[in-house]
């Protein structure tokens, strides 16, 4: 290592000692300066200003505030006026009312409308008491093919749905057709056929159309163990 003078350090012990001493002085000065700055420089803390307040009493010559409505004493209740007494009127003495005289019986010839009214009442009573021997003929009648199908509500549902789709042709009088079909477990119609034709082609076609248009029906009842059930429907003219 050469200095600016061109000499090389380390050639003599004196020069080496001077260099080490110079380096030590520089290090000591740097460390001392750092320690001095770290101990003397403190972080500034902002302290808000505070003021000293002294409480004094209210002056004697200041008028007091008026009392509020809430502090006013409640008004005394108004005296209740007693209603004037009314003198009771004396009750009149009860007298025995005369018994009504029986009305004289009018001759039958004088009121002929009474006889006619009684005859009408008798006719109405006889009509109400007489049972209806003749029932209105139904246009759709449904029967199940086996005696094991004991579910009348389901048969009624089938009849109502077929009746809604039953539109017989006009002019068909006194004819009747029977259609047989099967309802599978899901309610779909299968194997529909004309069991008893009516002799009227249009009437028979309307009967088949009423059955096929009603498909699908509700699923078979859960209590029925078979996968399908056969039904027969009698279709007649509408009255």
The predicted structure's pLDDT at residue 89 = 64
Which segments of the chain have a pLDDT < 50? 69-70, 94, 106-110, 112-114, 123-124, 126-135
The predicted structure's pLDDT at residue 119 = 52
- Write down the pTM of the prediction: 0.43
The predicted structure's pLDDT at residue 19 = 85
Q: Where are the domains of the chain?
A: 140-236
The pLDDT tens digits for 98-137 are 555 655 554 444 454 445 555 555 544 544 444 443 445 6
The predicted structure's pLDDT at residue 158 = 94
The predicted structure's pLDDT at residue 135 = 46
The predicted structure's pLDDT at residue 159 = 93
The predicted structure's pLDDT at residue 132 = 44
The predicted structure's pLDDT at residue 130 = 47
The predicted structure's pLDDT at residue 79 = 65
C-alpha 77, offset from chain centre: 53
Q: How far apart, in whole angstroms, are the C-alpha atoms of residue 40 and residue 87?
A: 112
Beta strands in the chain (DSSP E): 140-144, 176-184, 189-196, 228-236
**Tokens standing for residue 19:** 């260099």
The predicted structure's pLDDT at residue 63 = 65
Q: How far apart, in whole angstroms, are the C-alpha atoms of residue 161 and residue 218?
A: 10
Helix, strand or coil, per DSSP, at residue 125: helix
User: Which residues, at least 6 apart from 137, have a Cβ–Cβ distance to it below 8 Å?
Assistant: 236, 239
The predicted structure's pLDDT at residue 154 = 94
Q: How far apart, in whole angstroms, are the C-alpha atoms of residue 215 and residue 166?
A: 13
DSSP count for the chain of H helices, then E strands: 4, 4
Tokens 């101990």, residue located: 39
CATH architecture of the domain 140-236 equals: 2-Layer Sandwich (3.30)
User: Which residues, at least 6 apart from 1, have a Cβ–Cβ distance to it below 8 Å?
Assistant: 8, 9, 10
């Amino acid at each position: 290592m050469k200095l600016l003078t061109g000499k090389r350090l380390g050639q003599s012990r004196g020069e080496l000692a001077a260099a080490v001493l110079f380096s030590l002085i520089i290090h000591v000065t740097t460390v001392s300066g750092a320690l001095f700055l770290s101990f003397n420089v403190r972080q500034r803390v902002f302290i808000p200003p505070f003021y000293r307040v002294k409480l004094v009493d209210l002056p004697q010559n200041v008028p007091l505030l008026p009392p509020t409505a809430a502090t006013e004493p409640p008004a005394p209740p108004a005296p209740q006026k007693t209603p004037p007494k009314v003198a009771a009127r004396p009750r009149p003495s009860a007298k025995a009312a005369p018994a009504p005289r029986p009305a004289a019986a009018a001759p039958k010839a004088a009121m002929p409308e009474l006889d006619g009214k009684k005859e009408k009442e008798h006719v109405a009573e006889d009509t109400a008491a007489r049972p209806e021997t003749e029932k209105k003929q139904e246009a759709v009648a449904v029967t199940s093919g086996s005696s094991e199908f004991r579910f009348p509500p389901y048969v009624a549902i089938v009849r109502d749905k077929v009746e809604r789709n039953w539109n017989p042709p006009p002019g068909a009088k006194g004819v009747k057709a029977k259609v047989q079909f099967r309802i599978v477990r899901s309610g779909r119609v299968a194997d529909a056929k004309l069991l008893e034709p009516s002799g009227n082609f249009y009437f028979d076609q309307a009967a088949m159309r009423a059955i096929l248009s009603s498909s699908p029906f509700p699923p078979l009842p859960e209590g029925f163990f078979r996968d399908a059930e056969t039904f027969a429907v009698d279709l007649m003219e509408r009255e």
